[in-house]
Structure 1
Amino acid sequence: MTARVWQTTVDSRDAHAQSVWWAAVLGYAEDPDDPNEPGHEECLLLAPTGDQRLLFIEVPEAKTVKNRLHLDLVPAEGTRDEELARLLALAAQVVDDLRRPDGTGWVVLADPEGNEFCLLRSDAERAATG
């Protein structure tokens, strides 16, 4: 027997604001049968394919230390650097820039509540460099 991941849950100070922000980042949508509203303590997002779920749950405390678990993102379209510009325009913050002169590497970012995530090269960029 094995288990499968049902959803990834993120503790949040403002579940609704986080769900709106991450929906813009990932292209995920709320459940049409249970829309997310300001003030909701739990806000769910669904991947367009329906096979991934992100649940934001309000907690009273703010984030205080580095995440023990984080998301690694790859651009669905375009390059890593183009996606970085888009994420920065959405108010992501650069935590650490680990890009290398040869084009490899990644960027560590934080969402509006300080949760870290990484932005890697696109599939096409990785394929082009082997």
Structure 2
Amino acid sequence: MIAMAALISHTSFDSIDAFAQSVFWGNVLNFIDDPDDANKPGDEECMISSADGAQRLLFIEVPDTKQIKNRVHLDLKPADGIRDQELARLLTLGAREIADRRLPDGTGWVVLADPEGNEFCILRSDAERQTAVGAQ
């Protein structure tokens, strides 16, 4: 019997302003619009993707605002640099700090919210985790 699996096409986010969310997350993740279908202010659906197209996020406008804590969220790690540098960059882009879960030994994470209140976390970079393992 052939093993079957479902593949994730994209991750969808309900939004009040799909375009603004696509701009924020595009800057956070260095994702781009489809060159043949660029996102514009007022678009009710805005898709962004990684440069290779392997990862895609879709923002869809809905009339209701966020009501409760997310049941699913993104955990991010810095592509370059360290967690605290990336945290500073994300705050500059418009993220808001919700909870600081960093521990004195350097482990932990910071819970943030995007401009519409969707929570996500910033973790340590791979280099920070490898340095911690090497120090033990």
Please give the TM-score of this superposition, normalised by the length of structure 2: 0.94
Per the alignment, residue 35 of structure 1 pairs with 38
Q: Which residue of structure 2 aligns with residue 126 of structure 1? A: 129
**Equivalence for 1:60:** 63
Which structure's CA Rg is the greater one? 2
Percentage of matched positions with identical amino acids: 63
Please give the root-mean-square deviation of Cα atoms over the aligned residues, in Å: 0.5
Aligned counterpart in structure 2 of residue 74 of structure 1, from 66, 77, 102: 77
What one-letter code is carried by the residue in structure 2 that aligns with 1:56? F
Shift of 1:123: 0.5
The letter of the residue matching 2:66 is K
1:78 CA displacement: 0.3
Count of aligned positions: 130
Where do 5+ consecutive residues of structure 1 fail to align? none
| Corresponding residue SS for 1:57 | strand
CA-to-aligned-CA distance 1:39-87 (integer Å, 9 cap, x gap): 0000000111210000000000000100011000000010000000001
Partner of 1:25: 28
Asked if 1:90 is matched to 2:93, the reply is yes
**Partner SS, residue 40 of structure 1:** coil
Q: Which runs of 4+ in 1 moved over 3 A?
A: none
